[in-house]
Amino acid sequence: MGRHLCIALLILLAGCQHRAADLQKADVAPLHAGATVHLRVLHAINPRFPSMTPEQLRMMLDTTRKTVKQNFNVDIEFDGIHESSVTDLFARLPQPLMDEVRKEIYDFKHGKGNRDRLIDSIYTSLKQRNTRLGDALLFARPYLPGKLKPDSLESLSALLAQVMLERLDNWRNLKAADGQPVIDDTPYNEWIYWDALGYAELPYDIVISNQLIASVEYADIDVHSALRGGVSVGTTSYSRNNRFAAFSFWSTFPFLDTSAYTRELRGGETYTPEEAAQLSGAYLAHEIGHLLFQFNHPFGQQACAMNPAQMLHFRAWRDHLDATACAIGSRPEMMPGAMPVYFSAHLKEIGNMH
């Protein structure tokens, strides 16, 4: 899903967005249907937020397995679930790597963001992903304010920047169980640090966390993330220690949180603990489509598992899936390799030094 709910493996990370010469294409081919794949899983927990029980995690991954099989005809085996704190996970990030990617953060916590640069970044991301205006509006129009009708990717980018920043304020006003804001002074909400984990030592294919990931960057902003106020449900990013040259990270927070604002973004959907696990598992299949096949986003095509959920309408997303109506290869975005893996040579060099 998802940087923002699935950044779709185009890893134009951090400072590299303005240094195109720094990007290199990873030498890895997309998977093909019919394979059996073993995936290593880490569950990283922040004790400030609700977390899935071991039973829920098993239910979640069982649903992922079934959904991947139904939609992509691949057999997934999960090789155990390792556990860690989010703090220990972030300790894997070398300080020089954090310092480098921090340059791309829109610092909303201290009011130091550059809105014009943000708009330019959104436009660049849309163009790099070959986003078509018609498809983007089909997906986004119900969730844009007023009666404005963007007539270009440029005007859509300006409107998305406005919506993203306004809705992020709603997340900042949310409180965790300890009474403190869910977005605090720690770096754990910042998407770009999660995206950088693959440049460090990360021996996992899937990282699942209960952490809320909600932030704004000058890189890799997609339509669905902007509409949610910078919230990422999941992203697939470069990983130097992975046979797919990528890993996926996944937030269960949007499925487990019971605040009024989260329910609003779900369109009123409420979930039992069992359904939360099942919906999270089904939607994780979307991220695995990026990881294994390098699929892109067929925006607005509700039959497709690779179409991001509108806002946080996870039940509606699942109920519209139809693998026969969105077969592999049926659309340009559903071609294996439609969004190949790129990485920053500069960031890789920093990661290799530590």
Nearest alpha carbon to residue 12 among 238, 166, 176, 177? 238
Rounded to the nearest angstrom, the gap between the alpha carbon of residue 84 and the centroid of all alpha carbons in its chain is 20
pLDDT at 99 over 80: yes
Structure tokens at 100: 């480098």
- The SS3 call for residue 231 is strand
Which of 6-15, 66-75, 206-215, 322-331 comes out lowest in average pLDDT? 6-15
Cα 142 to its chain centre, rounded Å, is 21
Q: How distant is the alpha carbon of residue 319 from its chain centre?
A: 21
Is residue 325 pLDDT above 70, yes or no? Answer: yes
Q: Which two tokens stand for residue 73?
A: 């005809």
- Residue 339 carries which side chain, given as an amino acid letter? M
Asked if the model's pLDDT at residue 329 lies above 60, the reply is: yes
User: What span, in angstroms and rounded, lies between the C-alpha atoms of 99 and 239?
Assistant: 19
User: For residue 152, what pLDDT is reported?
Assistant: 93
Tens digits of per-residue pLDDT, 120-129? Answer: 999 998 988 7
Stretch 320-333: mean pLDDT: 96
**Cis (ω within 30 of 0) for the bond into 179?**
no
pLDDT at residue 146, rounded to an integer: 80
Residue range 68-76: average pLDDT? 97
For 13-48, the pLDDT digits (tens) are: 333 333 455 889 999 999 988 899 999 999 999 999
pLDDT at 241: 85
State how far the Cα of 305 lies from the Cα of 69, in Å rounded to an integer: 12
Strand ranges in the chain using DSSP code E only, listed in sequence order: 23-25, 36-45, 75-85, 206-209, 234-238, 246-251, 342-344
pTM (two decimals): 0.91
**Tokens linked to 119:** 């708009």
